[in-house]
């Protein structure tokens, strides 16, 4: 079945550094991928929609200059947290849809836990 991978699975970094998270669809192509963020004891919140070949669409309240998204190919989207601060510590998860319309199935990556010291 379809699989979505994320790398790294967890990362610890110093405040002020940038962190790149990769999301890959392993056996299908995804023109669109979604990035989510979860805070402890809170819901998964959609951050942005990554579009292959065009700019990402950000949800309200998400800083696009802070969270850079690049959909480099039909199987890879990257999320870069720039100048990370402790408040950016969270669990980041991506998903990619396979198929269209009623045939669509959403596949989730395993998530990346980010801890900014």
Partner 1 sequence: SQELEQSPQSLIVQEGKNLTINCTSSKTLYGLYWYKQKYGEGLIFLMMLQKGGEEKSHEKITAKLDEKKQQSSLHITASQPSHAGIYLCGADSRGSQGNLIFGKGTKLSVKP
Q: Which residues bind partner 1 (CB under 8 A)?
A: 9, 32, 34, 36, 38, 41-46, 49, 91, 93, 95, 97, 100-102, 104-106, 108, 110-111, 113
Q: How far apart are CA 14 and CA 12, in angstroms?
A: 7
| Residue whose CB is less far from partner 1, 86 or 102 | 102
To partner 1, the closest distance from the beta carbon of 35 in angstroms equals: 8
3-state secondary structure of 30: coil
To partner 1, the closest distance from the beta carbon of 104 in angstroms equals: 5
| Residue whose CB is less far from partner 1, 10 or 16 | 10
DSSP for 63-114, written as a single string: -TTTEEEEEEETTEEEEEETT--GGG-EEEEEEEEES-GGG-EEEE---EEE
Q: How far apart are CA 49 and CA 21, in angstroms?
A: 15
To partner 1, the closest distance from the beta carbon of 8 in angstroms equals: 12
To partner 1, the closest distance from the beta carbon of 16 in angstroms equals: 25
| Residue whose CB is less far from partner 1, 16 or 99 | 99
Q: How far apart are CA 115 and CA 90, in angstroms?
A: 7
| Residue whose CB is less far from partner 1, 16 or 110 | 110
Q: How far apart are CA 61 and CA 23, in angstroms?
A: 22
């Amino acid at each position: 079945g379809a699989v979505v991978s994320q790398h790294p699975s967890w990362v610890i970094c110093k405040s002020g550094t940038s962190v790149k998270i990769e999301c890959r669809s392993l056996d299908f192509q995804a023109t669109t991928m979604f990035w989510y963020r979860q805070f402890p004891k809170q819901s998964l919140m959609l951050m942005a929609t990554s579009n292959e070949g065009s700019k990402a669409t950000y949800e309200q309240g998400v800083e696009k200059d802070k969270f850079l998204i690049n959909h480099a190919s039909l199987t890879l989207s990257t999320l870069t947290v720039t100048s990370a601060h402790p408040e950016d510590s969270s669990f980041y998860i991506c998903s990619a849809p396979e198929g269209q319309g009623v045939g669509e199935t959403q596949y989730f990556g395993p998530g990346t836990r980010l801890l900014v010291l």
